């Protein structure tokens, strides 16, 4: 029987109380533990373990896949329950789910949409329970914005009913702690968008090699992934042969939806009250430049919330995220940039000098990670093209691209 929303929230609160150290008190001003704000900071082993433990406990308590079909291991509840749970989570100090964002926000929904029964029963529940972690094997050295240019080949396996994959992927977030990856491959020559096929690749299979890439924050959150004659059973194919482009588009839409959600506060970075408290603690509240920068963040976040509400309403009607999700991603990068400006104005030289002051380093790591956000999940230029063409109906970009 479906619980009432009140009963559900009361249960959620009880669960969150049992797994969190204390009700939320991690304000930017006061928390000694909030030492990292970087977006692609390279999750530490500890952060990965904490995220995994939390997700597993949430799943076992019925909060790990609230809207998922019961037969696949979900709780079978409407989206408003998921929203209510997310709002309740924000009342508590819980581990960041960042290390699992690709796995839960992109890999699991794409597998649920396109996976064979065999692949779903093998991986889906485990992904939702964080027994497995998934990554996205799309970008290649010569295929990023123009994703349809992927060269990784998948050919039928002469020795079995499956496929043999060979090629190189790049910028694969979290590949170093992933168990599976969704790979976009070329299965035949011919028109770019009609000869692609997607697969679930076992990241522990022979022939998969993961090499870390270091970014300017100093961390290494993404990787090069080399696939050398990796054998993949046909049951791990997603969608029809040659229809990989539809799978890719669906996964990118999930990605945009997941990223866009943080434009208005989902990531916890845009808690305006906490930011005000932090500015006061720095004694910078009367500086007109600080007030101006704060107002810019405030208006951007408020606009993003309204846009997000519109995207959610469309999602409710259409069932899948639409091109307007690009606006969410653009809003996020714009808001992160204004936050980066605010932090820089408040901290001034402390941002770059190692003064041992609490959080100054955390914020410099954040400022260095913001430019990557304009690229990951589709660049700003590509999202503007998407909005122009698919939402506004403007003429198509003449350059070949995804």
Ligand X SMILES: Cc1cc2nc3c(=O)[nH]c(=O)nc-3n(C[C@H](O)[C@H](O)[C@H](O)COP(=O)(O)OP(=O)(O)OC[C@H]3O[C@@H](n4cnc5c(N)ncnc54)[C@H](O)[C@@H]3O)c2cc1C
Residues designated as active site: 255
CA contacts within 13 A on the Cβ side of 224:
8
CB closer to ligand X out of 88 and 139: 139
Q: Give how many residues touch ligand X by CB under 6 A.
A: 24
Name the residue among 100, 99, 107, 95 with its Cα closest to residue 42.
99
CB closer to ligand X out of 311 and 378: 378
Decide: is 197 part of the binding site for ligand X (CB under 6 A): no
Using CB positions, name the residue nearest to ligand X. Answer: 144
Decide: is 366 part of the binding site for ligand X (CB under 6 A): no
Decide: is 262 part of the binding site for ligand X (CB under 6 A): no
Residues in region 214-253 near ligand X by CB under 6 A: 222
Angle at 110 between CA 104 and CA 114, to 5 degrees: 145
CB closer to ligand X out of 7 and 213: 213
Q: Please state the closest distance from residue 52 (CB atom) to ligand X, in A.
A: 18
The pair phi, psi for residue 130, each rounded to 5°, is: 60, 25
Q: Please state the closest distance from residue 334 (CB atom) to ligand X, in A.
A: 15
Cα-based torsion angle of the residue sequence 200, 206, 208, 211 in order, rounded to the nearest 10 degrees: 150
- Name the strand (E) or helix (H) holding 276: helix 272-281
Antiparallel, parallel or unpaired: β 153-156 and 163-173: antiparallel
Decide: is 101 part of the binding site for ligand X (CB under 6 A): no
Decide: is 372 part of the binding site for ligand X (CB under 6 A): yes
The pair phi, psi for residue 237, each rounded to 5°, is: -75, 140
Q: Please state the closest distance from residue 251 (CB atom) to ligand X, in A.
A: 10
Q: Please state the closest distance from residue 181 (CB atom) to ligand X, in A.
A: 9
Can you tell me the distance from the alpha carbon of 398 to that of 325, in angstroms, rounded to the nearest whole number?
Answer: 22
The residues of the shown chain that bind ligand X, judged by CB under 6 A, are 40, 102, 135-136, 138-139, 144-146, 171-173, 222, 372, 375-376, 378-379, 381-382, 385, 397, 399, 401
């Amino acid at each position: 029987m479906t619980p009432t929303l009140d009963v559900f929230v009361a249960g959620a609160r009880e669960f969150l109380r049992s797994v969190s150290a204390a009700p939320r008190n991690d304000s930017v001003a006061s928390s000694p533990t909030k030492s990292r704000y970087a977006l692609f900071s390279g999750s530490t082993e500890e952060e990965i373990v904490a995220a995994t433990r939390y997700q597993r406990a949430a799943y076992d308590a019925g909060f790990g896949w609230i809207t998922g079909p019961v037969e696949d291991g979900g709780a079978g509840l409407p989206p408003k329950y998921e929203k209510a749970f997310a709002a309740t989570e924000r009342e508590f100090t819980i581990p960041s789910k960042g290390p699992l964002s690709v796995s839960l926000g992109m890999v699991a929904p794409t597998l649920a949409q396109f996976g064979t029964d065999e692949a779903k029963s093998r991986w889906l529940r485990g992904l939702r329970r964080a027994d497995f972690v998934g990554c996205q094997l799309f970008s290649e050295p010569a295929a990023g914005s123009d994703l349809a240019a992927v060269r990784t080949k998948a050919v039928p396996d002469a020795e079995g009913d499956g496929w043999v994959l060979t090629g190189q992927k790049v910028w694969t977030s979290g590949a170093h702690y992933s168990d599976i990856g969704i790979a976009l491959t070329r299965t035949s020559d011919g028109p770019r968008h009609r000869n692609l096929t997607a697969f679930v690749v076992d990241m522990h299979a022979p022939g998969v090699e993961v090499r870390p890439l270091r970014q300017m924050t100093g961390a290494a959150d993404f990787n090069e992934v080399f696939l050398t004659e990796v054998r993949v059973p046909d049951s791990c194919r997603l969608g029809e042969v040659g229809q990989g482009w539809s799978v890719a588009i669906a996964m990118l839409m999930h990605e945009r939806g997941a990223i866009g959600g943080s434009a208005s506060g989902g990531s916890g970075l845009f808690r305006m009250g906490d930011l005000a408290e932090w500015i006061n603690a720095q004694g910078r509240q009367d500086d007109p430049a600080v007030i101006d920068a704060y107002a810019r963040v405030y208006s951007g976040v408020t606009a993003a919330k309204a846009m997000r509400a519109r995207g959610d309403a469309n999602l409710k009607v259409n069932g899948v995220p639409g091109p307007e999700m690009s606006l969410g991603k653009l809003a996020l990068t714009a808001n992160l940039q204004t936050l980066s400006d605010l932090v820089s104005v408040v901290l001034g030289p402390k941002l770059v000098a190692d003064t041992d002051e609490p959080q100054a380093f955390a914020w410099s790591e954040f400022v260095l990670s913001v430019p990557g956000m304009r690229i990951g999940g589709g660049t700003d230029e590509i999202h503007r093209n998407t909005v122009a063409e698919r939402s506004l109906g403007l003429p198509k970009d003449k350059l070949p691209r995804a």
